Amino acid sequence: MLYLVRMDVNLPANLPEDQATAIKEKEKAYSQGLQRDGRWPHLWRVVGQYANYSVFDVESNDELQELLQNLPLFPYMDIEVTALAKHPSSIS
């Protein structure tokens, strides 16, 4: 199943820089692992914002929920999920 996911990150202003850096490093490693195994095939930054649009390719709603809540930045995110279906006019 394909999902379009928008993630907006809202780190607290009072979060110590070293803690923020450690969380971001864990987030990068976790997200790159999911990209390598094919479950996170697309990741784009939203220009001018600490946000991204991503496409996930997973087996179920539950799997997506598990992947998202395991993101190290999850506690600081607003997330919007849209399930995708093949369009009848698509040639791919």
In a domain, 9, yes or no: yes
What's the total number of domains in the chain? 1
- Find the mean pLDDT for residues 18-36: 98
Determine the pLDDT at residue 92: 83
- Give the structural domain span for 51: 2-84
Distance CA 85, CA 76 (A): 29
* Torsion of Cα atoms, 1 then 83 then 68 then 64, to 10°: -30
**pTM listed for this prediction:** 0.93
Predicted confidence (pLDDT) per residue in 29-81, tens digit: 999 999 999 999 999 999 999 999 999 999 999 999 999 999 999 999 999 99
DSSP E strands, the chain: 2-9, 42-45, 51-57, 77-84
Phi, psi for 89 (deg, rounded to 5): -95, -5
| CATH number of the domain within which 21 lies | 3.30.70.1060
Q: Where residue 21 falls among pLDDT bands split at 50, 70, 90?
A: very high
Average pLDDT of span 7-22: 97
